[in-house]
């Protein structure tokens, strides 16, 4: 099962981790993609962080994905971008530069619309309970199945994915899962990635 790493520099730093060293260690384990999500940064700040993360991804031949900041991706010649469903449709006319476009979706209808309008993959969530969405009920495996049945492009599950519950995702036709908090808190991402990949 493919694993996408979604970053959160704040979480890493709150856990006294060197964010850039962590990105290097994660890239070394060859996840499917690393999405630099840092939504709280200004675009100028984001571009500085992105420049520092690109090298590790290129060295280990990982697809580095810019989240939200289209101008930064173009400036840095990054051909992969990930967008919210809203941004995807509002900024469709700005996306001709990109070879790979991912979209976050929260319903089967959104997933189908994203595919129809050129998305290469979607990330669907949140599937399980997660601290990142405190007080918000998870959508569950049934929701994931609905998304999967609505599209032919790859679907990745996000939200509360752990080695204990990933087997439920594995039973579906999802292409993989996304991890954020667990990786951003870990001094040894190898163990987390291996536990996800090897779970049955």
Q: Which residues are designated catalytic?
A: 126
d(CA 84, CA 106): 10
Burial bucket for residue 60 (CB in 10 Å: 0-12, 13-18, 19+) = middle
d(CA 192, CA 15): 16
Residue 66 has which token pair? 């810019």
Residue 93, strand partner residues: none
Residue 138, strand partner residues: none
Contacts of 42 (CB under 8 A, 6+ apart): none
């Amino acid at each position: 099962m493919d694993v996408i790493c979604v970053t959160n520099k704040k979480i890493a730093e709150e856990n006294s981790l060197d964010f850039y060293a962590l990105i290097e260690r994660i890239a070394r384990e060859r996840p499917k993609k690393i999405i630099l999500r840092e939504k709280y940064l200004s675009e100028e700040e984001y571009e500085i962080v992105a420049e520092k993360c690109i090298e590790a991804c290129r060295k280990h031949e990982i697809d580095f994905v810019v989240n939200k900041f289209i101008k930064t991706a173009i400036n840095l010649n990054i051909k992969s971008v990930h967008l919210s469903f809203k941004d995807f449709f509002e900024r469709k006319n700005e996306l001709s530069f990109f070879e790979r476009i991912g979209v976050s979706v929260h319903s089967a209808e959104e997933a189908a619309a994203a595919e129809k309008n050129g998305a290469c993959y979607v990330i669907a969530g949140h599937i399980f309970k997660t601290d990142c969405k405190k007080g918000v009920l998870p959508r569950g495996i049934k929701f994931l199945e609905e998304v999967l049945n609505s599209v032919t492009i790859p679907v990745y599950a996000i939200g509360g994915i752990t080695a204990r519950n990933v087997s439920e995702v594995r039973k579906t036709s999802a292409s993989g899962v996304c991890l954020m908090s667990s990786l951003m808190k870990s001094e040894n991402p190898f163990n987390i990635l291996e536990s996800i990949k090897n779970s049955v």
